[in-house]
Structure 1
């Protein structure tokens, strides 16, 4: 294992930075000399626990060489931009494809992306060249109308022709047929044309 994608604890909400620092410190201490290559995972839409930039700085200072980067799936460009400014020497990966190209142009290192499973070339151009693609950005808005994991799996099933991809693990539920059709229609409208 080269890297660990580590989200903050999410059972308790509205915890302070000192509490988060204590939790991450305990994890790093438990790993001991194996603590390395940690990618902090900012995904407050799921955890309801954002990662303050100051916390990232404190962890880096207290545990030199342990934090290798941040995956930012917060969907807040002002946070992403500040993260790139404050911690641009780390590997900064974007999870919200709407901000991918812009982050790459400002020093970001790419993405961990659900959409890369079905619009591979487009995401690659955004991640490697910092090239904007309005179709991708618009399709993210379509995906966000549904629970993201089932929606991404719908698109992978459609691309591969393998409906086994529609299966999700509880507590998630598969998308209903109507939602699958609407998502497919939105995809066809956007990607039937060349990039804008």
Structure 2
């Protein structure tokens, strides 16, 4: 009977050691995966962080992993919008990630940094757009001014041309009149001599 009791105690001890060893390894894997996820968050590698948090959740379900997944879902959408230069959507998604109840501090810090970068890029894009619009407006005004100047020059040229033509016509007329006077006087002299 003693052997039986020792055997049962030995089996229980081995099961206990096995269980605690398994738990230790699982906790170690969980901690390693969480650290990897946190490093990915710091690097703003949202995809890797999301994969690591999902792996950690498969090891041990915690509110931390569920919250992280929700925040990272928004961060991934924001990064995609940033790559498409859709600044307003990126801002909206980063704000949504920050607004998740019980958001993780490390994710909030990284998301805020990414949001600040997006805000800066958005401001630069708006400034560039404004500058471009001003330049286009100035170019349009300059083009319009040049066209007006061209029309004015053309009008002046036409006016000068008409004036010169009119002066030339007047000169031609004045030169033609003395010749016709000479002809008429010559004709009248000829007609007097034939009498």
- Normalised by the shorter chain, which TM-score bucket? under 0.3
TM-score by length of 1: 0.23
Q: Larger % of strand: which?
A: 1
TM-score where L is the length of structure 2:
0.23
Determine which structure has more spread, i.e. the larger CA radius of gyration.
Answer: 2
The structure in which a higher percent of residues are helix is: 2
